[in-house]
Amino acid sequence: MAATIQVLICDDHSIVRQGIKQILADASDITLAGEAGSGPEAMALVRSGAAEGRLPDVVLLDIAMPQRDGLDVLKTLKAEFPKLPVLMLSTYPDRQYAVRSLKLGAAGYLNKSADSEQMIEAIRKVARGQLFITPSVAEQLAGAVGAGSGLKKGQGNDEAPLHERLSHREYQVFRLLAAGKSVGEIAEQLVLSPNTVSTYRARILEKTGVRNDVELALYAVRQDLLQV
């Protein structure tokens, strides 16, 4: 690792990137490696940097972005650069995406409501190759591990929410359906064919035990999955 921690920021809101850059500027051991406003732009920067032998030490990656969401970008980054630490940023409640992020290989998950000291601490920790999780995320992770162990023992998992059965892509489609998006709109946003989205929709209805999009939306509201 270089003498200073090189950080790449990926967030689609310029004002957020400016705020993060100001936080980084106050830390003498952290410098800006670059910034991206979308997932494809972030991937292009990382790939070009890798080609020149200068990967960032840490990627700060927002979850909610146009074109490709942060979890999609995370999957690609970890497939191509498995040792690159990625710290996920989000405005969503921890229970929605923290465990999913960690399962996909994120080095940590930080809510944007965190203070600047916690962000600096998180960057330093993941740059050292360690995992950064807050107490609330640790609780979510412990619950997920406990649920998984119960299944392995054949004890059932009645307390686990049904949406936890969804794959990453199914969960993406699920939230968009619950938010009132049509199959065509979802296909365009996720760059999928309408038939593929319809297939995901059928799987989602089956796994969550609901009959239609209205019931799906009601389920999402009950589980507080539409908060941003």
Please state at what angle helix 168-178 crosses helix 213-222, rounded to 10 degrees: 100
Q: Where are the domains of the chain?
A: 5-138, 161-222
Contacts of 172 (CB under 8 A, 6+ apart): 69, 71, 190
* Model confidence pLDDT, tens digit, residues 26-83: 999 999 999 999 999 999 999 999 999 999 999 999 988 877 788 889 999 999 999 9
Question: Architecture of domain 161-222 in CATH?
Answer: Orthogonal Bundle (1.10)
Closest CA relative to residue 114, chosen from 65, 78, 175, 60: 60
* Model confidence pLDDT, tens digit, residues 139-176: 666 655 545 444 333 344 445 678 878 887 888 888 88
Any idea which fold 5-138 has?
Rossmann fold (3.40.50)
161-222 has the same fold as 5-138: no
pTM of the model: 0.71
